[in-house]
Homo-oligomer: A and B are copies of this chain.
Amino acid sequence: MDRRSFIKRAGAAGAGAAATAATLAAPAIAQSAPKISWRCTSSFPKALDTIFGAAQTMAKYVKESTDGNFDIQVFAAGEIVPGLQAADAAAAGTVEMCHTASYYYWGKDPTYALATAVPFMFNDRQMNAWLYYGDGNALLNEFYATKGLYGLACGNTGAQMGGWYRKEINTLADLKGLKMRIGGFAGKVVEKLGVVPQQIAGGDIYPALEKGTIDAAEWVGPYDDEKLGFQKVAPYYYYPGWWEGGPTLHTLVNLAKWNELPKAYQAAVASACEAANCDMMASYDYKNPGALKRLVAGGAQLRPFSQEILSACFDSANATYAEISASNAAFKKIYDSQAAFRKDAYLWAQISEYTFDTFMMIQQRNGKL
């Protein structure tokens, strides 16, 4: 054997040995820790740092806990696709996942809305109870699977505010003809009461309120609303945002991509999403109080919705649920599950939690905290 032949064969043997080593080592690497890079398109701009931040928190936990091997890059709305096309992009495989509010897609199927929030349903904690321990996650994923998606709860804003109004709204008569920037399901509910819902992008709300093109607009809550300065042009700040008692954000993953993911990475994503779910609520709860104080100092006039208005909206919401349930079996199945738990959840919540909070709020009002 000449040297050249030897090198060739030894090289082959070496390669073979390396291949064997690779064969031995690879399963552990390939199955458990392959280098994967995913794109997550957010429905939100970076300026909404609390909501956008939930996707970043999730991605950070996943990346760090996989030693950098599973790298999820989060893109703001518009960087890959517009915010309202996030779920479509994930379903189509344009991106592997998105972070979004499922109710944005209620126009395609109102069932999407039940994953986020529907009027007069849950607060943050009740939603989590239903998702993680009730039928929630299982029922929602039965639905999402029909759309080619797998959903994981990933953030909550808590009860939102009821929006900014140029004039006081005291009675049902004040709602007639009110041009209000209010989206989706809630728009459908208030439309029955004479409100004229408007679809306006976040950045266009302020000038529309200023010019009087619209009379009112809902956005999120103090921390996010403050950035847009609504108190200068529509000072009456109503509460509660009865259409969003505890809206849940979702990470929606392309179903085929989810199923291909190593089990360890699925677990890392599930853990990170549940952690981010907790984290985003904490972020809002920490940031909203200061923003509320600054808004009031800057001219915002806090107003509770009257019982007359809340009751009429509640009835209108129930009528809407009945209408949709009559023709949409998927919606009915999930709505019925939520409504059944809601009944018991509010029974328990009013005992210890509510009386504890009430006593503490009285102390706050009396300047004793």
Chain A interface (Cβ < 8 Å from any Cβ of B): 1, 6, 9-11, 13-18, 20-22, 25, 28-29, 31-33, 61, 64-67, 69, 120, 123-126, 128-134, 158-162, 221-222, 239-242, 245, 262-268, 270-275, 277-279, 281-283, 285-290, 292-293, 302, 304-305, 307, 310, 314, 339, 341-361, 363-365, 368-369
Contacts of A359 in B (CB 8 A): 120, 240, 242, 307, 310, 314
Q: Assess the B242–A356 pair: CB atoms within 8 A.
A: yes
Q: Assess the B369–A350 pair: CB atoms within 8 A.
A: no
Q: Assess the A278–B271 pair: CB atoms within 8 A.
A: no
For the complex formed, measure the closest distance between the CB of A20 and the CB atoms of chain B, giving whole angstroms. Answer: 7
A279 and B29 alpha carbons, distance in the complex (Å): 30
Contact partner of A21 among B22, B342, B348, CB < 8 A? B22
Contact partner of A25 among B22, B120, B160, CB < 8 A? B22
Contact partner of A18 among B21, B65, B267, B368, CB < 8 A? B21
Q: Assess the B344–A282 pair: CB atoms within 8 A.
A: no
Q: Assess the B123–A282 pair: CB atoms within 8 A.
A: no
Contacts of A1 in B (CB 8 A): 1, 6
For the complex formed, measure the closest distance between the CB of A334 and the CB atoms of chain B, giving whole angstroms. Answer: 16
Contact partner of A354 among B161, B272, B361, CB < 8 A? B361
Contact partner of A274 among B239, B278, B287, CB < 8 A? B278
A342 and B368 alpha carbons, distance in the complex (Å): 11
Contact partner of A16 among B14, B273, B368, CB < 8 A? B14
Q: Assess the A288–B361 pair: CB atoms within 8 A.
A: no
Q: In this complex, which of A17, A66, A262 has the most chain B Cβ atoms within 10 angstroms of its Cβ?
A: A17
Contact partner of A271 among B31, B126, B275, CB < 8 A? B275
Q: Assess the B67–A262 pair: CB atoms within 8 A.
A: yes
Q: Assess the B18–A245 pair: CB atoms within 8 A.
A: no
Q: In this complex, which of A265, A356, A361 has the most chain B Cβ atoms within 10 angstroms of its Cβ?
A: A356
Contacts of A364 in B (CB 8 A): 343, 346-347, 350
Q: List 11 A-B contacts (CB under 8 A).
A: A10-B13, A13-B17, A25-B29, A123-B357, A241-B352, A242-B356, A272-B275, A275-B275, A307-B359, A346-B357, A350-B357
Q: Assess the A353–B240 pair: CB atoms within 8 A.
A: yes
For the complex formed, measure the closest distance between the CB of A9 and the CB atoms of chain B, giving whole angstroms. Answer: 7
Contacts of A305 in B (CB 8 A): 355
A364 and B120 alpha carbons, distance in the complex (Å): 11
Contact partner of A352 among B31, B160, B345, CB < 8 A? B160
